[in-house]
Amino acid sequence: MATSLPKTEGGPAVSRSAFRRSRGDGPFRFLSVGSGVILLAIMAAIAVFLVVKAIPALQANTSHFLTELTWNPNATKPVFGIGALAFGTVVSSFLALIISTPVAVGVALFISHYAPRRLASILGYVVDLLAAVPSVVYGLWGVTFLVPFMLGPSKFLNDYLAWIPLFGGDSVVGKSMLTASLVLAIMILPIIAAISREVFLQAPKLQEEAALALGATRWEMIRMAVLPFGRPGVITAALLGLGRAMGETIAVALIFPATFTISFRILSPNGNSIAANIANGFGEATPIGRGALIASGLVLFVITLVVNTAARLIIARRKEYARAAA
Amino acid sequence: MKYAGRLAAAAIIGVFSLAACGTDDNSGDTGAPTTATSAAGSSLSGTINAAGSSAQANAMDEWKKGFQSANTGVSVNYNPAGSGAGVQSFIQGTVAFAGSDSALNDEKGEPAQADARCKTGKAINLPMVIGPVAVVYNVPGVDGLQLSPKTIGGIFNSKITKWDDPAIKADNPTATLPSTAIQAFHRSDESGTSDNFTKFLKATADWPYEPGKAWPAEAKGQGAKGSDQIAASVKSTEGAISYVELSFAENSSLQKAKVANGSGEFVELTPESAGKTVEAAQIAGTGNDLKLKIDYATSAAGAYPIVLVTYEITCEKGLSATDLPLVKSFLTYTASDAGQQSLTGLGYAPLPASLISKVRTAVEAIS
Amino acid sequence: MTVQTGIQPLSFGRRAKDQAVRALVYLAFAIAIVPLVSVLWLVVKNGLKRFDLEFLTHSMRNIGARDAGGGAYHAIIGTLEQVLLASLIAVPIGLLTAVYLVEYGNGRRLSRFISFFVDIMTGVPSIVAGLFVLAFWILVLGMPFSGFAGALSLSILMMPVVVRSTEEMLRLVPNELREASYALGVPKWRTIVKVVLPTAFTGIVTGVMLAVARVAGETAPLLLTVFFTDSINEDPFNGPQMGLPLYVFGQSSLPQDIAIDRAWTGALTLILIVMLLNLVARLISWWRSPAKRG
């Protein structure tokens, strides 16, 4: 070791500053800070780039960008707005999150605490396979298999549960917000499940065993020792999943019927998202059209930011709790 | 798991040994003989990057095959990212020519921008491929459906909603039409096919919306992304109707409707009937710029009115020294008899003789 | 006050809850498996038709529209090179940034900025990453289309996932370990490198594999940066390459059945490659995890 212990015979407790700084500290810290700064620079550059490209389009817009529903930036008088797109992005992503998170946490718990030890690793690998499927394949599977498949259950929901506004409406099709959200849910499941699994595996064994020794059932042990410990990790995982869902481009472009309306009826042929719209419009767009698509990308950033900040506030309040208890 | 480390190493080695063996030589197993005459020691070498319309992706594949077989030192890379992306890339200077379903658009200032890219010369639109647009339907028991433009407009504007509507009956006096609901599909992504189809409707069917690459939302109907999804949707949905390139219609064995042209004659879609409409088209460009103005309401006999002409957009003068010989040679091939013949059976229509000779002259002038 | 002796039998309520949760957890796993089986079944069923040696070793050069042959070799090489390069860029930067945020950050302003921007980065749509690289690397700097440009755009997508998951894993390392190490006089950087990182190693590997799996399947950024080619290009720094997701996307948009078959086989190949990478990563992490050593 490069340092030597300072003498301690009978003296006061050793203070941190008494340690001779190792020669590696400076460069290593520099590397870490440097990496962070590089990341920051990349992100700032992307933000600047987007703003620069978006401004001419926003200036040419003859309508209010934030509330307008239609999307026609390539017309002679450009009219476009993200009203319907932002709505679709938020609804589909949150729906996907709501469907996916409980299942993902269940899967993570299964692998970390319920499955036979020998199988746990293999089962984890199997669930990770879901992440290996490329998004275009999910899109094709969604369109060829899930869309026709969902027609039956959607009709069922519409027949019996139409009093809930979500499931109401006159037209029920397979290519709906619900199907797209389901595909998104499947796509983000492995992310949430994998990270949650790693988090649960790190739960302090001492506390688990103490709970069991006191006669807790397995569920009670999990509830007392594992879940509180894992809450920040699960929230981070969910946020990563949400980010993926909001930015998913190709899979939803294939499934969404690409309408520009705001409708809470998730079984009807309505739905579009910012990213899907970019995928649909990019190949043929004029410069104004591209600028408009990029401006919609900026809105996506803002949405992601708002959601993430809100979630981080929740974690921050809990963090002292978890760290102190660890 | 004792041998975990060794297993991992074996897997990595396996992947990398795969990396060692791969080949570009696909000539052994192709059934169709190459149609280009093999030049004795063609000295051309280099790479051309091009981008644009996905409607001509198949045509490009055939041309690349013929051209690269005769000129083994050349690689042609064509990115079917869409006409708009192709034109943008051309204007930005990242590709040597662009494939586009519509000529450079004056209203958007594209000709001026493209000329700027060409520096010393001007940008020209060279029609190279005709892709007819078929109106496909899925109504069991109904063969040889006939539709007039106004009926088509009504269907796609969601005004005519059932197959036994009087307007459709009027077009088909002898057919028995069921009362199923019409499911009209349109392209959810922007496309040149939508552009040409809506232009056709605007010219012949009192279409109330501006023609464009994006389907107007007010016309309703269901969206499907890409020609492949349109074909799949029509195939799997009873009562469906849509518009799609001929090659997709043929490959999915979809039924095509006969469309009435300007003289009221119901014409079936064949390469010949599509060619007649292009023959009747006027050249709106000057000099070697062969931008066409298609008369969708043409009354030429036996002419199928819904056609899409794909242009190759390049510089008459002003291409870089490396690109020039390759682009000129490639376009000479595509405009040649051999090049045009190689497209038969792929769902394209050949350019009519009068037009192809003008195209060849224009290609000659590229310098 | 009576003192309870002996083990108390479980009340019915507690036992019922325990069994219910057990059932739910098993059910969750079953639910997760169902779509996986469905998707894999579809891909395998459609992809096996052309999954032969020819597919794996030939490119698409000179394959015309009617030719049934050809393969995805150029795309396989492209994807492997692009993903490898992207990982080489994203993993060190992501890892070190996470280290900074957890070990050196301490709520400082810079660390809060970085955290803020990483949050935004998680929501970047893949096509925007491609657009950005196109604008800066290719248009402004004048570099050619290349596999490296594609790798750059993929790394932008990988970084936030690596940062966030690594950060989470590092935070889970108990403080006692760090303090014990400091108490022994180990300098901070060595503590991080020799104690904290190895402890979090399996979790970090999982995070990295998630990021790799995601970008291996991304089409949109490749479309703009790697361009498109039918021929083999083994040089990732020069000239257009091909990628498997691009290959699948391109082939699936063509009308011919032979093209659609190739698309499914390409998808199958991609999944197999990612599975293989995942397996290798797991084996490596298993091999090197501190619990198993010695």
Taking only the tens place, the pLDDT of each residue in B146-194 is 999 999 999 999 899 899 899 999 998 888 889 888 989 999 888 888 9
**Could you tell me how far CA B86 lies from the centroid of its own chain?**
13
> How large is the greatest C-alpha to C-alpha distance in chain C, in angstroms?
91
Residues 6+ apart with CB under 8 A from A117: none
**Could you tell me how far CA B235 lies from the centroid of its own chain?**
21
Q: Do A250 and C220 count as a contact with CB atoms less than 8 A apart?
A: yes
Question: Distance from B234 to chain A by nearest Cα, in Å?
Answer: 13
Q: With beta carbons under 8 A apart, name residues in chain B contacting A75.
A: 210, 212
Of C58, C145, C229, the CB nearest to B75: C229
- Measure the CA–CA gap between C9 and A208, rounded to whole angstroms: 20
Say whether pLDDT at B103 is over 90.
no
**Share of residues in chain A with pLDDT > 70 (%):** 90
pLDDT (tens, 9 = 90+) of chain C, 294 residues, equals 555 555 677 788 889 999 999 999 999 999 988 998 999 999 999 999 888 888 888 888 888 877 888 888 999 999 999 999 999 999 999 999 999 999 888 778 888 888 888 888 887 888 888 888 888 888 888 888 888 999 999 999 999 999 999 998 998 898 999 999 999 999 988 889 988 998 888 889 888 988 998 899 888 888 888 888 888 888 888 888 899 998 998 888 888 888 889 999 999 999 999 888 888 888 877 777 655 443
User: Which conformational region is residue A271 in: left (phi greater than 0), alpha (psi within -120 to 50 degrees), or beta?
Assistant: left
C264 touching B (Cβ < 8 Å): no
| B282-283 and B292-293 strand pairing | antiparallel
CA-to-CA separations, C164 to A194, C197, C214, in angstroms, rounded:
13, 15, 15
Confidence (pLDDT) at C3 = 56
Confidence (pLDDT) at C156 = 93
The model's pLDDT over B312-364, given as tens digits with 9 standing for 90+, comes to 999 988 888 888 999 999 999 999 988 888 888 888 888 888 889 999 999 99
Confidence (pLDDT) at B39 = 44
- Tokens describing residue B72: 């083994």
Residues facing residue B137 across a β-bridge: B241, B255
The model's pLDDT over B117-148, given as tens digits with 9 standing for 90+, comes to 888 888 899 999 888 999 999 999 888 899 99
Question: Distance from A267 to chain C by nearest Cα, in Å?
Answer: 20
- Nearest chain B residue to C224 by CA distance is B81
Of C95, C156, C165, the CB nearest to A42: C156
Of A70, A144, A281, the CB nearest to B190: A281
Q: For CA atoms B38, B39, B42, B47, give the dihedral sign.
A: negative
β strands within chain C, DSSP E: none
Please provide the DSSP assignment of C117-142 as one string: HHHHHTT--HHHHHHHHIIIIIIIS-
- Nearest chain C residue to A16 by CA distance is C182
Mean pLDDT of A170-176: 79
Mean pLDDT of A97-116: 93
> How large is the greatest C-alpha to C-alpha distance in chain A, in angstroms?
86
- Tokens describing residue B197: 């189809």
Domains of chain C, residue spans: 16-47, 57-293
| B123-138 and B240-245 strand pairing | antiparallel
- Tokens describing residue C187: 């300098």
| DSSP 8-state assignment for residue C291 | G
A140 touching C (Cβ < 8 Å): yes
Of C39, C213, C248, the CB nearest to A141: C39
* pTM of the full structure: 0.85
Q: Do A253 and B225 count as a contact with CB atoms less than 8 A apart?
A: yes
Burial class (CB in 10 A: 0-12, 13-18, 19+), C136: middle
Q: Do A143 and B212 count as a contact with CB atoms less than 8 A apart?
A: no
Confidence (pLDDT) at A11 = 44
Say whether pLDDT at A107 is over 90.
yes
C38 touching B (Cβ < 8 Å): no
Question: Distance from B317 to chain A by nearest Cα, in Å?
Answer: 25
Confidence (pLDDT) at C291 = 57
Please provide the DSSP assignment of B298-345 as one string: ---TT----EEEEEEEEESS---TTHHHHHHHHHHHHHSHHHHHTTTT
The model's pLDDT over B196-206, given as tens digits with 9 standing for 90+, comes to 999 999 999 88
Confidence (pLDDT) at B111 = 87
Of C60, C139, C239, the CB nearest to B47: C239
ipTM metric: 0.83
Q: Do C124 and A46 count as a contact with CB atoms less than 8 A apart?
A: yes
Architecture of the domain delimited by C57-293: Orthogonal Bundle (1.10)
Do C168 and A2 meet the contact criterion of CB atoms below 8 Å apart?
A: no
Say whether pLDDT at A73 is over 60.
yes
| A12: enclosing H helix or E strand | none
Spell A148-183 as b/e; 16+ CB within 10 A means b: eebbeebeebbeeebeeebbbbeebbbbbbbbbbbb
Domains of chain A, residue spans: 71-325
Return the closest-CA partner of residue A325 out of C178, C170, C175, C204.
C175
- Nearest chain A residue to B81 by CA distance is A283
Of B54, B84, B105, the CB nearest to A285: B84
Q: Do B23 and C59 count as a contact with CB atoms less than 8 A apart?
A: yes
A41 touching C (Cβ < 8 Å): no
Architecture of the domain delimited by A71-325: Orthogonal Bundle (1.10)
| B93: enclosing H helix or E strand | none
- Tokens describing residue A252: 């939803």
| Interface probe with C: pick from B7, B24, B68, most Cβ of C within 10 Å | B24
The model's pLDDT over B284-318, given as tens digits with 9 standing for 90+, comes to 888 888 888 888 888 888 889 999 898 999 998 88
The model's pLDDT over B1-38, given as tens digits with 9 standing for 90+, comes to 556 667 666 766 766 666 667 777 776 533 333 334 44
Question: Distance from B258 to chain A by nearest Cα, in Å?
Answer: 28
| Interface probe with A: pick from C21, C79, C244, C261, most Cβ of A within 10 Å | C21
The model's pLDDT over A77-94, given as tens digits with 9 standing for 90+, comes to 888 888 889 999 999 999
- Measure the CA–CA gap between C93 and C104, rounded to whole angstroms: 15
- Nearest chain B residue to A173 by CA distance is B222
- Rounded to the nearest integer, the mean pLDDT of chain B is 85
Question: Distance from B300 to chain A by nearest Cα, in Å?
Answer: 32
Say whether pLDDT at A101 is over 90.
yes
- Measure the CA–CA gap between C130 and C221, rounded to whole angstroms: 4
Return the closest-CA partner of residue A73 out of A87, A91, A59.
A59
| A78: enclosing H helix or E strand | none
C240 touching B (Cβ < 8 Å): yes
Q: With beta carbons under 8 A apart, name residues in chain C contacting A42.
A: 156, 159
Of B88, B214, B229, the CB nearest to A74: B214
Confidence (pLDDT) at A318 = 59
